[in-house]
Structure 1
Amino acid sequence: MTETHATVAPGAPIFPPGRYGRRREPGRRRPLLAALLAAVLVAALGLLTVKLYTQYGDPEYDAQVITYTGITDTEVLVDFRVTVPEGGSATCVLRARSADGAEVGREEVTVTARPGERQVTTRHRLATSARPFIGEVLRCRPAA
């Protein structure tokens, strides 16, 4: 035989008194505290990101391909411009790819800006193992 009470919602379980201990009252929620903790976490991660980027990032070394010409079965001429710190040097990685996307040539090139200048424009003849379709600059970093 089941026991029914007028104060119990339909479908809610009925527990015998004293058998399972004291029932807890629903806890008070604190959405403001959770939002504040989330905001502090986001701010801390943002500060850490900015610190690491300024410490390890290379925003001053930027390369742009001007043109690639002189394509033959064994080489490509790559004209490119590099922005470096004033009077600084950079080591850039150049790559040539064939029409199917395979890498057919790669070389590291060091460029140096004249004193007082921040940009270096240069032309490099990149040797390839097959006919290239494109010549590109992958990245530039401070010269070692």
Structure 2
Amino acid sequence: MSSVSPRTPQSRGQDGQDSSVGELLSTVTSDVQQLLRQEVELAKAEVRQEATKAGKAAGMYGGAGFAGYMVAVLLTLAAMFALGNVMDLGWAALIVTALWAVIGAVLYRRGRERMRTVSPKPEQTLETLKEDAQWARHPTR
């Protein structure tokens, strides 16, 4: 029959020696810091992947925008020539230009109002990261 010593409540290190509470806290802290670093790297990789997808989608939006621009130019010319049948072509061009100036002014004002509501920083994420970093520095608090 082999003799098995009962487990003691103290923790054993890798070399079989007793580990102090400070060493255990140090190990836990370094593990948490490593975990946080890995999470940040994962987040960076995910952001890069999503940015690539967003870039491709933005290119498609750009193409659609150019096509829409061409439609607007051709419709503008069509409207100008249609008005040119009932008035001088110069006045028709001026009327269509004024119409586009009004549309541009309205879109500018709406865009400016919406831009004022945009936050330049991801506030909630920054606050969470600050809390995580503080906890990692002082895990017992």
TM-score, structure 1 as length reference = 0.29
Higher RCO by CA contacts (8 Å cutoff, separation 6 or greater): 1
Which structure shows the higher helix fraction? 2
More strand by share: 1
What is the TM-score normalised by the length of structure 2?
Answer: 0.29
